[in-house]
Structure 1
């Protein structure tokens, strides 16, 4: 009986040519224009739609003089087909890159700019035959849904159906220009209250905030006066390098060539948030040889790149 049930379910799938006729007609809202796109006669498209409606037992279009409109059932079917076509397009894109030397990795804008790009430059000097494509986005990227081999994601690691590799734990500390440290004689956490504080207001993490940072250190500063508030980490970095004040930085978020030259750590005080940056990829999916090489290299690079 189980085999009979499966066969019945398969039989209920409408003929693919009727689905193609429906998709074109629903997208173009015209049987005539659908026929032109499919290189069929208008009558042939109308018949295919009729066969589909008879097969499904409901009308999919309301037919009016020289125009058509989707019924409720037609709208449901159109949405399902659109989702299926998007999945097919993503699959085609991923399949086309399976046997190439290109590795695609996704990361947040700040991570891509301040950590990943220096890593890629170093990697390419050793592996010039492996091309790296970066997808920079502050929206979390799902390797199951997007055509990426790897992604760097920030958080607690509680994400199903993904393989997760820890890169580094989040550690945050103050930084400023060396000249600013000398001018303000920063020797204790209390001295920060006399400084211009540069605040990152990105909405990505609560730990961007000076209020939260002071709280996590156990220091009670009272009301803070933040002189500069910006919306992305690049502006924070530029303001700090220009001697405009003290900023919060991440142990992996300052380029090597800026450490102790453009920026210094005025205090040996930091907090660890318990959150991590992970490299993730689709669980049970076999990585290509170039992607595996790049992954292993990034793990090693992460160990060498923290500002401690």
Structure 2
């Protein structure tokens, strides 16, 4: 019996896998650096070789048929495994560890500690990207991600670090000017950050938000920016006491109230399982989980299970 793979070029499987994963011939072409016509031609040729349709052509995207879904799962597993094997064989992958992380986690908590990792592993260089966007780790642009959420990313190996807790933070002068003695005093302050997150904090503090109150001010997608805005605008921002522990200890920031509710999410290290045993990734996972395990503020607020 002839081997069906012998009749199908690897390039066609690679293009099919990208188109299936992205649900678009155009986006697959952009990722692979070829034309949309080349993607369409390769997919059509693959369908002709197999004698069955793999995609339904819709107006703005494509959708997999049942046969296409079955082949896509196998193709993704095969391409991911092949990339991992090539990285291990080449050895070059062990030289640079690429991490994508949430900005506040990266800047406030990870970056001050990274020197310790590189002292322990001088042969591993670290490239750190900060973004609130969720990167597709299977594309190979990053080795791992440090994400915030509930830890429910499918088909990924997820390692818990610590919980997502927040508390009001401000400059000492702001605390004194506002006379912050009771959580309800914050209703009259300029509050930096998400109104929904402030509502969670007020509920945890037992403050009923009713009647006239100062409206929330600046709202950004990173705690680092919101705390900086609070300092410059004489306001109060919600921030993680884990992230800003150094600034609180040094007196540059104050935590007026010892109330830091759990927001039901946490911070996690995320990696495709087929890459988890790469030396550089395993070394970083062991190191960062040890760092979280001895962080006194993280311990106080407990790590997620």
Shorter-chain TM band? 0.5 to 0.7
1:279–1:56 CA distance, 2 compared to 1 (3 A):
closer
Corresponding residue number in structure 2 for 1:232: 221
Q: Deviations over 1:40-93 (max 9, x none)?
A: xxxxxxxxxxx98985679xxxxxxxxxxxxx7xx999x99xx979x9599658
Q: Deviations over 1:248-274 (max 9, x none)?
A: 011332262464432110111121123
1:95–1:214 CA distance, 2 compared to 1 (3 A):
farther
How many equivalent residue pairs? 263
Contact 1:252–1:306 at 8 Å: present in 2 too? yes
Corresponding residue number in structure 2 for 1:306: 297
Task: Return the alpha-carbon distance in structure 2 between the equivalents of residues 170 and 132 of structure 1.
Answer: 25
Contact 1:240–1:263 at 8 Å: present in 2 too? no
User: Residue 262 of structure 2: which of 263, 268, 272 is its match?
Assistant: 272
1:19–1:162 CA distance, 2 compared to 1 (3 A):
closer
User: Residue 210 of structure 1: which of 191, 198, 221 is its match?
Assistant: 198
Q: Deviations over 1:172-231 (max 9, x none)?
A: 111100111122221110211222211247xxxx5xx21232124332121542352232
User: Residue 155 of structure 1: which of 149, 152, 171 is its match?
Assistant: 149
Corresponding residue number in structure 2 for 1:37: none
1:268–1:18 CA distance, 2 compared to 1 (3 A):
closer
For structure 1, the residue ranges without an aligned partner over 5 or more in a row are: 1-6, 35-50, 59-71
Corresponding residue number in structure 2 for 1:47: none
The TM-score, its normalising length taken from structure 2, stands at: 0.67
Corresponding residue number in structure 2 for 1:289: 279
Contact 1:18–1:52 at 8 Å: present in 2 too? no
Whichever structure has more strand as a proportion of its residues is 1
Mapping of residues 49-198 of structure 1, within 5 Å: 92=83, 95-96=86-87, 99=91, 100-198=94-192
Residues 1:27 and 2:27 are matched in the alignment: no
SS in 2 for 1:191: helix
Task: Return the alpha-carbon distance in structure 2 between the equivalents of residues 179 and 246 of structure 1.
Answer: 11
Corresponding residue number in structure 2 for 1:252: 242
Task: Return the alpha-carbon distance in structure 2 between the equivalents of residues 263 and 227 of structure 1.
Answer: 20
Task: Return the alpha-carbon distance in structure 1 between the equivalents of residues 199 and 233 of structure 2.
Answer: 21
Aligned CA RMSD, in angstroms, stands at: 4.4
For structure 2, the residue ranges without an aligned partner over 5 or more in a row are: 17-28, 301-305
1:53–1:290 CA distance, 2 compared to 1 (3 A):
closer
The TM-score, its normalising length taken from structure 1, stands at: 0.66
Corresponding residue number in structure 1 for 2:26: none
1:291–1:76 CA distance, 2 compared to 1 (3 A):
closer
Contact 2:157–2:276 at 8 Å: present in 1 too? no
Contact 1:162–1:280 at 8 Å: present in 2 too? yes
Task: Return the alpha-carbon distance in structure 2 between the equivalents of residues 18 and 144 of structure 1.
Answer: 18
Q: Deviations over 1:78-114 (max 9, x none)?
A: x99xx979x9599658834772232222212332222
SS in 2 for 1:230: coil
Task: Return the alpha-carbon distance in structure 1 between the equivalents of residues 274 and 8 of structure 2.
Answer: 33
